[in-house]
């Protein structure tokens, strides 16, 4: 039965007018796809990954938990992880490589220098923030309002651009030092 269908289709012939119409539709779709691609745009996970990578340059930790690595932990899955891996590949910050890992509980988070809480996991922020006080961990979040609630750095979106809030009190409680350059760029809380 199927062979007959193949024969039918192969012998069906070529309809020029239909092809032209479909080609026009095809061009229209492609044009539409292309029109959405701005020249000076970058995906949100990529730019957030770049921000996190850049934070490592401006923060001083009182104790190097791992002298060979700056450890960035993620609390749950995030599209930023893959981007950050690409950004940090073959790069060193202050002679230390950047290691990206999952840190799904407080014990794992304590071992990190930067601990990122993705937006979907923001509900656990208060608990995690409380548990990590004074442990030398820079907590970075991406949910509106969490900077006010005590996140050391809260990445936010404003007018299609990325900004970050910096909570100086939280940074002090975490036992960290930040450079004045970072402070100058931040929205201070």
- Of residues 44 through 83, those in contact with other proteins by CB under 8 A are 44-47, 50-51, 54, 58, 79
Residue 25 sits at φ, ψ, to 5 deg, of -60, -45
C-alpha span between 187 and 153 (Å, rounded):
10
Among 59, 72, 87, 103, binds other proteins (CB under 8 A): 87
Closest separation between CB of residue 21 and other proteins, Å?
A: 9
How distant is the alpha carbon of residue 117 from its chain centre? Answer: 10
Rounded Cα distance, 63 and 130, in Å: 20
Site for other proteins in 1-20 (CB under 8 A): 2-3, 5-6, 8-9, 14-15, 18-19
- Rounded to whole angstroms, the Cα distance separating 87 from 58 reads 17
Part of the chain binding other proteins (CB under 8 A), chosen from 63-71, 92-100, 114-122, 170-178: 114-122
Stretch that binds other proteins, among 61-69, 116-124, 132-140, 165-173 (CB under 8 A): 116-124
């Amino acid at each position: 039965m199927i062979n007959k269908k193949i024969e039918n289709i192969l012998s069906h012939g070529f309809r020029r007018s239909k092809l032209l119409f479909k080609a026009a539709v095809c061009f229209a779709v492609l044009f539409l796809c292309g029109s959405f691609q701005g020249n000076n745009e970058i995906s949100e996970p990529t730019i957030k990954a770049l921000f996190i990578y850049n934070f490592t340059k401006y923060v001083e930790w009182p104790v190097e938990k791992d002298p060979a690595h700056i450890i960035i932990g993620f609390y749950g899955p995030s599209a930023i992880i893959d981007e950050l891996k690409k950004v940090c590949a073959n790069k060193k910050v202050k002679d230390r490589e950047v290691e990206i890992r999952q840190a799904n509980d407080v014990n794992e988070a304590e071992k990190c220098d930067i601990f990122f809480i993705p937006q979907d996991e923001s509900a656990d922020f208060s608990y995690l923030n409380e548990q990590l006080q004074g442990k030398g961990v820079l907590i970075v979040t991406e949910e509106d309002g969490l900077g006010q609630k005590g996140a050391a750095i809260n990445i936010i979106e404003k007018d299609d651009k990325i900004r970050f809030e910096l909570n100086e009190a939280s940074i002090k409680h975490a036992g960290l030092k930040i450079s004045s350059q970072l402070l100058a760029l931040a929205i201070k809380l």
